[in-house]
Amino acid sequence: MVKSSTQGSFHFPFLMFTFLGCMIGFGIWEYQRGWYDLVKRQLNLNCCVGKVALKLKQTLIRVESLNRKIIYFRALIACIIALTKDPFIQKYQTILSGLAFAQDQILQLWKIEKIRWLVHRCGNPRIKVNPLPELRWIRPPADFIGPKPLEWEGDLPSAFWIQTSYFPRKSSAKVWKALENEEDWKAEWALP
């Protein structure tokens, strides 16, 4: 004998509803989490690129500023040699050598930064990094005045690029001179 029951009609719709609700909720949560990971990835790339771009900008500004000081001191020493026999001439030459030494140290630090960039890879080996720009400054041999200012080998690029990518995101920045003959370098986010 089959006993009919009206109890239990609540269970199936409720189960279906709970299941669907959970699935949709989980889907939205998963979408938010995926998006959050992408943003985190993008901001990490930006942070990494940004720090190095500002470092490059500082390097370029310092080297060029020291170059101008070297040119100034060389002119000063040349005048002193031509006009007088100042006993303090060696003092000026020491300053000149100091400036050239400081420039060399800045360029050495940039070389170290280039290696660190390739090895560190923004803290994640899966991040693809393009090598940092080569600063192709060379110093001509010193003369009787002292060390000469650095000269760029070839044409100075209009912009230096720093790029990284971690699929599907990428980040890049450029360091550039706003106008020709302007002394200041600028850094900004940009896509090549």
Window contacting other proteins (CB under 8 A); options: 78-86, 102-110, 119-127, 181-189:
181-189
State yes or no: residue 31 binds other proteins (CB under 8 A): yes
Q: What's the token pair of residue 31?
A: 């979408």
d(CA 92, CA 191): 45
Nearest-approach distance from CB 1 to other proteins, in angstroms: 23
Q: How far apart are the first and last CA of the chain?
A: 81
State yes or no: residue 127 binds other proteins (CB under 8 A): no
Nearest-approach distance from CB 45 to other proteins, in angstroms: 11
Instruction: Please give the C-alpha separations between residue 88 and each of 99, 137, 146, 156, in angstroms, as whole numbers.
Output: 17, 30, 14, 36
d(CA 116, CA 75): 38
Full DSSP string of 103-140: HHHHHHHHHHHHHHHHHHGGG-TTSEEPPPPP--EE-P
Q: Encode burial over 83-113: b for 16+ CB neighbours within 10 A, e otherwise.
A: eeeeeebeebbebbeebbeebbebbeebeeb
Q: Which of 1, 2, 6, 154 touches other proteins (CB under 8 A)?
A: 6
Q: Which of 39, 109, 115, 142 touches other proteins (CB under 8 A)?
A: 39
Judged by beta carbon, residue 31 or residue 152, the one nearer other proteins is 31
State yes or no: residue 24 binds other proteins (CB under 8 A): yes
State yes or no: residue 9 binds other proteins (CB under 8 A): yes
Judged by beta carbon, residue 25 or residue 140, the one nearer other proteins is 25
State yes or no: residue 53 binds other proteins (CB under 8 A): yes
Judged by beta carbon, residue 50 or residue 157, the one nearer other proteins is 50
For tokens 């370098």, the residue is 185
State yes or no: residue 111 binds other proteins (CB under 8 A): no
Tell me, by CB under 8 A, how many residues bind other proteins. 29
The dihedral region occupied by 66, where left means phi > 0, alpha psi between -120 and 50, and beta the remainder, is alpha
State yes or no: residue 17 binds other proteins (CB under 8 A): yes
Contact residues toward other proteins (CB under 8 A) are: 6-7, 9-10, 13-14, 17, 21, 24-25, 28, 31-32, 35, 39, 42, 47, 50-51, 53-54, 172-173, 186-191
